[in-house]
Chains A and B, each alone.
Chain A
Amino acid sequence: MQQNIVDKVKNNPKYVELVRSRSLWGWSLSLLVIIIYYGFILVVAFNKELLAQPLYEGTIITVGIPVGVAVIVASFLLTGLYVWRANSKFDDLTKQIKQEIK
């Protein structure tokens, strides 16, 4: 890539906004997944009883089962959230940046 394009893009406020926004979303969501997953693992390691109690009176299903399924579902929903955000905001900004260097 030619240096002049790099300089032009780098100083474009929209590019600064794109980088900032993507980092914010990428890192916060990563952190969230890490908290959810390792939180779950630490409960498994330190407080098994919490997950072993029945979900409600009279059922054999333990709290652990919906919690485990929720970790899976949450992972999926968070990828959906990121894709939604990226498809609207990141792609719009990228398009504008590309148009401006033409």
Chain B
Amino acid sequence: MQRIGLFALITTLLLGMATIALGAGGIEGAVEKQSLNISAIVMFFLFVSGTLGITYWAAQRTKTAKDFYAAGGGITGFQNGLAIAGDYMSAASFLGISGMVYMKGYDGLIFSIGWLVGWPIVLFLIAEQLRNLGKYTFADVTSYRLSQKPIRIMAACGSIVTVLLYLIAQMVGAGQLIQLLFGLDYWIAVVLVGVLMIMYVTFGGMLATTWVQIIKAILLLAGATAMAFLVLAKFGFSPDALFRKAVELHPEHNKIMSPGVLVSDPISAISLGLGLMFGTAGLPHILMRFFTVADAKEARKSVFYATGFIGYFYILTFIIGFGAIVLVSQNPHYLVGGDIAKGQLIGGGNMPAIHLAHAVGGDIFLGFISAVAFATILAVVSGLTLAGASAVSHDLYANVFAKGTATEKQEIYVSRIATIILGILAIWLGIQFKGQNVAFMVYLAFTIAASANFPVLFLSIFWKGLTTRGAFIGGFVGLITAVVLVVIGPTVWEEVLMNPKGSAMFQYKYPAIFSMAVAFITIWFFSITDSSARAKQDRDNFDAQNVRCQTGIGAEGASSH
């Protein structure tokens, strides 16, 4: 009950702080450019109070470790499908992909397809196996028959690095977006996001996080559907008329209707695809979602629904991007200095969807979409933080440090502390990286997930010959290779670190094809040459693991124990 009192106190303080901040921001915003949007603020408050209400409800139901990490295991396949979609469709994919379609047309579609095709693979090879073998984190699966300590340390490193990179990208994006939409100072926006996310996760655990993600997914899908509908309505529901007008207005004309420069050399194209495809199957916050459902059947249904929602959403972003070419790019109201010839969007290249909301639905719809964008960020950072905190508390603390002797109470306590520390770290990093190019961090997170988390997880499920030594060395080698190749590659070396053009030591922008190969070969080599007693044990236990993996006999049930 003490916790509930604390929750109420922080909520009051937070809402008070937000009110003052928004009030103050109102004056600045009006001076800067657009008049502050009242409907956006109203909808933002509705969303925040609604989700805090859910968090309060969830907090009273979160008692055991299973409640905290896995929402008690009682989420249905359909709900989890929505939550996965809510976890995966970040502001980067909503604003970024529609922005890319706006700039480059067809290339945006190619990119979005890459983000989708990992999902069938997750279903066919990972989802049911994960549910049958694991409990709270994907390291439960990788360490199922391998030595707990090294494997959990390795998995936790992979998880935490992935989560942190992803978090930085989200926080910086959040700060910029909210600054623009609500007229708040950058740091206030970042602190607000950080504090809200800490509250959802520490008090409401996975249950609150799940519902924040479900609500956000519904809002985002509804908002994007309405926007695409309104765009098409302006063209008598004829895509042909929409595309024709876009081609006429876009500076690159016909070129936006077919593949452009995104995929120029096949190695980069395949490497980008590999990173996105197998990165999806190695993201800790996504994998964690499979432990919230009752059994393998619900796990597979979740992916089916999630794939449908995400695919549908990407088709919408394509229409939205083209709609923005027609309705935003020629309207001085949305351009810096009202200059159509220069064509610079107010707020930058990620803003077409936001301006389009105003163009098709006026202030109220703009307010709604702004609030949705904000909700999107909150849902994604909450999922990330929970995954990071679980790696600390469940993998590092409970299974490595306390060697399985910690009580549930202690474990949840550590998890809450870890959430708060991660939250503060995210706020600090978000402020440190202000104004920097962080777009590469999402791709780096995917590359690490594909090169460290995925190979170990995949081989632990399917390859009897995998040993502790192979997984430990290979996992770390994959992680380090991915980081090094991104850092010495053109994106970071030249664009972020400002070294002269052409000085990058590694010529490819997307290194997944190399780092994944290095990881798999290293794991394979150090496994087959491993003749230790531990290795024999690792291999001998495969059959028992596979029986559980295939049938679910002995798997974690839905009810609390």
Binding site for B on A (CB under 8 A): 1, 3, 5-6, 9-10, 15, 18-19, 22, 25-27, 29-30, 33-34, 36-38, 40-42, 44-46, 48, 51-52, 59-62, 64-65, 68-69, 71-73, 75-76, 78-80, 82-83, 86-87, 91, 94, 97-98, 101
Contact = CB atoms under 8 A, between A and B. Distances in A.
A44 B259 contact: yes
B270 A41 contact: yes
Contacts of A68: 106, 109-110, 113
B113 to A, nearest CB: 5
B553 A29 contact: no
B553 A42 contact: no
A25 B124 contact: yes
A33 B551 contact: no
B125 A26 contact: yes
B60 interface: no
A61 B551 contact: no
A101 B339 CA distance: 75
A22 B550 contact: yes
Contact of A60 (B124, B240, B264): B240
B311 A94 contact: no
Contacts of B119: 75, 79
A36 B273 CA distance: 12
8 contacts: A9-B547, A15-B550, A25-B124, A30-B121, A30-B125, A46-B266, A72-B314, A82-B124
Given A15-B551, A78-B120, A45 B307 contact: no
Most-contacted residue by chain B among A48, A59, A60, A61 (CB, 10 A): A60
B128 interface: yes
A34 B266 CA distance: 15
Interface of B: 106, 109-110, 112-114, 116-117, 119-121, 123-125, 128, 239-240, 243-244, 247, 257-259, 263-266, 269-270, 273, 277, 297, 300-301, 303-304, 307-308, 311, 314-315, 543-544, 546-548, 550-554
A61 B304 contact: no
Given A46-B266, A76-B311, 4 more contacts: A1-B547, A10-B543, A26-B124, A42-B269
Contacts of A40: 113
Contacts of A78: 120
B307 A79 contact: yes
The SS class assigned to the B binding surface is helix
B551 A52 contact: no
B221 to A, nearest CB: 15
Contacts of B239: 61
A19 B462 CA distance: 11
A60 B547 CA distance: 55
Nearest to B264: A45
Contacts of B117: 33, 36-37, 71, 75
A97 B551 CA distance: 8
B544 A65 contact: no
A22 B128 CA distance: 11
A89 to B, nearest CB: 12
Contacts of A52: 257-259
Given A30-B121, A33-B117, A48 B257 contact: no
Nearest to A75: B120
Contacts of B120: 29-30, 33, 75, 78-79, 82
B300 A69 contact: no
Contact of A45 (B114, B128, B263): B263
Given A44-B110, A48-B259, A38 B270 contact: yes
Nearest to B268: A45
A94 B300 contact: no
Contact of A38 (B125, B273, B543): B273
A27 to B, nearest CB: 8
Contact of B553 (A22, A30, A64, A98): A98
A64 B240 contact: no
A6 B113 contact: no
A18 B549 CA distance: 11
Contacts of B314: 72
B362 to A, nearest CB: 29
